[in-house]
Structure 1
Amino acid sequence: MRSIWKGAISFGLVTIPVKLYSATEQKDVSFHQVHRADGGRIRYKRVCTQDGEEVPYADIAKGYELASGEMVVLTDEDFEDLPLSTSRRIDVLQFTPAEQIDPIYFAKSYYLEPDAQGAKPYVLLRNALESSGQVAVVKVALRQRESLATLRVRDGVFVLETMLWPDEIRTPDFAFLEEDIEVRAQELKMAESLITTMESDFDPAEYHDTYREALQQVIEAKVAGKEVIPAREEEEAGPAVDLMAALRASVEAAKRERGGGEPARPKKAAGKAAKDSKDTKESKDEEKAAPKRKTRKSA
């Protein structure tokens, strides 16, 4: 497994450096959308609904649509001052019995592995939490989202379960809940008897995805029967077309800059690197200007 985040559990005055790993993975069979006649991949373009033009990824921003249909466009600067924690800490807020937390709140599970210097405090907190029979309620910021989460122990490892906020849980406002539906005692007893008859310990290994297995068999049968459309050379040449378009756009942008046009302002994060790169490029252009003009062909 590859860690997707590094941070620390903050427990009182104790800090435990940890790495975060996804604890689950989807096993769905993935498909591409293709042309039925020849198996060619279907590609999608980012097209503006206002002018019908394809939009480069660099020109795409986040927009919030109002009820009136108007759009509020947010820039990187708008997000800079938001109170999203960047401290990479898992802050322990409290400890509580696990049964007090409804599973409907749980969103995604992650494993936490201690860094070498954090192994001892990790094991200390793990053992104490496991013997208490409780879970830690924590707050953490992952992928531009702040979440409540629980910290529990599974197979000797901390599991971080991110949670939904209370206002993200829908109320089951169903009409039958207001109806006075009568259940006879004999019917209730029979239902309870059925539950008792089917009662057993849960072993997840007893269950498997029969649909996915059957689908995989269908795919394997088609492969065995040579019902496969071979890859065409034109498809492999596709990225080169995109590369040529990118190079052509870069050449045109460079011509505009040399012609006195104002260059696009780089993002703050890459500002210095972009400036250094530009200064170096202009220096080299000045040194080699004469020979370049001699041999360069007209575009």
Structure 2
Amino acid sequence: MPRAMWEGAVSFGLIVIPVKLYGATEPVDVPLHQVHGVDGGRIRYRRVCEICGQEVPYDQIDRGYTAADGRVVVLTKQDLEQLPLASKGTVEISTFVDESEIDPVYFEKTYLIEAKGVGVKPYVLLRDALAKTGKAGVVKVALRTRESLALIRPRGDLLVMDTMLWPDEVRDPSFAAPDTEVHASPAEVTMAETFIGQMSGHWEPSEYTDSYRAALEALVTAKLEGATVPEPVKTEGGGEVVDLMAALRASVEAAKKRGHASSGKSSGSDKDEAAAG
């Protein structure tokens, strides 16, 4: 079982729910580290003070802020822990909103919320009420060394907390918008809608795999066993699209063929199962 990274309480109105918070995700990757290419020796980094030249143990490292005039303000762990944050131990739901109102660009990380002791009943109450109303609760929470906006929402039998960026941390996207003079014709939009319809399906996370990680694991295994390193798979890059409608029609036809091939495989395997039965 993972270790709780925060303990506190969630409150709404006069109801207080003692909870623990756990990371909802766990990165899975091939662990690589830096080595000297000549002899394979591990590259190590040392924390060295640029003034006295001494290596500094982690427990003696504090935070610092450099002002515009060059002066450095040292902030100790005690300074940071004593900041007057109401959200440090208890998060209070200030507003209930429709989750669909929030642009996904604001979402940062998801945490699992576990009820403690007497908090189970109000936890279930909040979960069921949010699920029934389609709402999520907006809170502020202090995790580690910063305060974040967050959203508490139901996820199956659980409540989860999604930390979010502050509005001033979200970049104004207008610079990346296409020229307002460029328009897609109604026929092009209709054809694109047809293509989207052909390619639509249900979200099945298990159908997606990390191809890069698989290739990296194969490369590491080959090198460990002294085998031939796998040849990279060559893919043809897409050329410049000259006729948009022709490209859309070709895309729709290709999607139809893929759909027929999948249907054929399904019906074929159904026949085999019937014959076997």
Q: Bin the TM-score by the shorter chain.
A: 0.7 to 0.9
Q: Which residue of 2 aligns with 1:223?
A: 224
Name the residue aligned to 2:48.
47
Q: Letter of the aligned partner of 2:153 in structure 1?
A: R
Secondary structure at the aligned position of 1:161 is classed as strand
- Which deviates more, 47-56 or 199-208? 47-56
How much has 1:62 moved relative to structure 2? 1.9
Equivalent residues of 1:91, 1:139 under 8 A apart? yes
Task: Please state how far the C-alpha of 1:67 moved relative to its aligned partner.
Answer: 4.7
* Matched-pair identity in %: 50
The amino acid of 1:22's aligned partner reads G
Q: Which residue number corresponds to residue 162 of structure 1? A: 163
Cα distance change, pair 222–102 in 1 and its aligned pair in 2 (3 A):
same
* CA shift in 2, pair 1:179/1:100, >3 Å: closer
The structural deviation recorded for 1:51 is: 5.2
Question: Structure 1: how far apart are the matches of 2:92 and 2:211?
Answer: 41
- How many Å separate the matches in 1 of 2:60 and 2:202? 55
Amino acid in structure 1 at the alignment position of 2:167 = P
Deviations 1:187-211 (A, max 9, x none): 2222222112211111111101011
Aligned partner of 1:26 in structure 2 is: 27
Q: Is the radius of gyration larger for structure 1 or structure 2? A: 1
* Equivalent position of 2:96 in the other structure: 95
Report the Cα offset of residue 39 of structure 1: 2.0
Q: Does structure 1 conserve the Cα–Cα contact (< 8 Å) formed by 2:87 and 2:141?
A: no
Corresponding residue SS for 2:173: coil
- Residue of structure 2 equivalent to 1:270: none
Any stretches of 5+ residues in structure 1 without a counterpart?
Answer: 228-299
Determine helix, strand or coil for the equivalent of 1:193: helix
1:109 corresponds to which letter in structure 2? T
Q: What secondary structure does 1:147 align onto?
A: strand
Question: In structure 2, how many angstroms separate the alpha carbons of the residues matched to 1:61 and 1:2?
Answer: 25
Q: Is the 8 A contact 2:97 2:135 kept in 1?
A: yes
Deviates more, 1:171-180 or 1:140-149: 171-180
Aligned length: 226
Contact (CA 8 Å) 2:33, 2:42: kept in 1 or not? yes
What is the one-letter code of the residue matched to 1:90?
Answer: V
- Check conservation: 1:137, 1:148, Cα contact below 8 A: yes
In the TM superposition, 1:1-299 aligns within 5 A as 1-50=2-51, 52-57=53-58, 59-67=60-68, 70-76=70-76, 78-79=79-80, 82-85=83-86, 87-174=88-175, 177-225=178-226
Distance 1:79 1:143, change over 3 A: closer
Give the TM-score normalised by the residue count of structure 1: 0.69
Give distance in 1, aligned partners of 2:13 and 2:204.
38
RMSD: 2.4
Checking the alignment, whether the CA contact within 8 Å between 1:9 and 1:15 is kept in structure 2 is yes
